[in-house]
Amino acid sequence: DQQVKQNSPSLSVQEGRISILNCDYTNSMFDYFLWYKKYPAEGPTFLISISSIKDKNEDGRFTVFLNKSAKHLSLHIVPSQPGDSAVYFCAASVAGGFKTIFGAGTRLFVKA
Amino acid sequence: EPEVTQTPSHQVTQMGQEVILRCVPISNHLYFYWYRQILGQKVEFLVSFYNNEISEKSEIFDDQFSVERPDGSNFTLKIRSTKLEDSAMYFCASTQDTANQPQHFGDGTRLSIL
């Protein structure tokens, strides 16, 4: 079951530069997408979300872009900070549904 | 900020034994979830629970698994006869509304089956 895919297991970025994390999905019924951040020994923490009626949502340094025709979304972090180093999970759900499908995660390293 | 709390943080159990993982969701939340993450793999949905019944479950959630809300605060996951492959991090989550809301996760229980 690979409905949500994060093809890059890791990403290394210099502090102050942009981090771009990518996610693809296969289920066209998904209409709500989220990014979670996870530190070791902690549960996932919600970061930002986007509904399928939008193509962009911004919250401070974090912006999520959604391309429905390509079934692709991305998370941009600008500027990246060392504290952003974590595993980032892309997730998706269906309106009125009861489950969220997660990708495999991308480990982000932000170097000082 | 209210938190989802899970106990214990680490559970070690002999294969074949029953185990109960406990969660206290955020108090005004109505929807509850269990996920698991096998080491190095993705977070996998197990089950969702609303109004004292299962709303949806995955193929992983077979007859060996059950969930219960025994009182107004706790939400438990029981594995009846544990197998080696049940070793994983188990995360509880809750939302006020359906899955189309960010889920609040606990810090997980690491289950080790020997």
Q: A73-88, pLDDT tens digit by residue?
A: 999 999 999 999 999 9
Say if the Cβ atoms of B107 and A42 lie within 8 Å: yes
For residue A101, which residues of chain B lie inside 8 Å, CB to CB? 45
% chain A with pLDDT above 90: 90
Interface check for B7 against chain A (CB to CB < 8 A): the answer is no
Taking CA A40 as the corner, what is the angle to CA B61 and CA A110, rounded to the nearest 5 degrees?
A: 130
Give the span between the Cα atoms of A107 and A21, in whole angstroms. Answer: 9
User: Which pLDDT score, from 0 to 100, does residue A1 have?
Assistant: 56
Residue A5, pLDDT > 90, answer: yes
Give the span between the Cα atoms of A94 and B1, in whole angstroms. Answer: 27
User: When comparing pLDDT for B111 and B39, which is higher?
Assistant: B111
Q: Give tens-digit pLDDT for B60-109.
A: 999 999 999 988 789 999 999 999 999 999 999 999 877 678 899 999 99
Interface check for B81 against chain A (CB to CB < 8 A): the answer is no
User: Which pLDDT score, from 0 to 100, does residue B89 have?
Assistant: 96
User: Which pLDDT score, from 0 to 100, does residue B71 have?
Assistant: 86
Residue A59, pLDDT > 90, answer: yes
Residue B29 · residue B96 · CB < 8 Å: yes
Residue B80, sorted as left (phi over 0), alpha (psi -120 to 50) or beta, turns out to be alpha
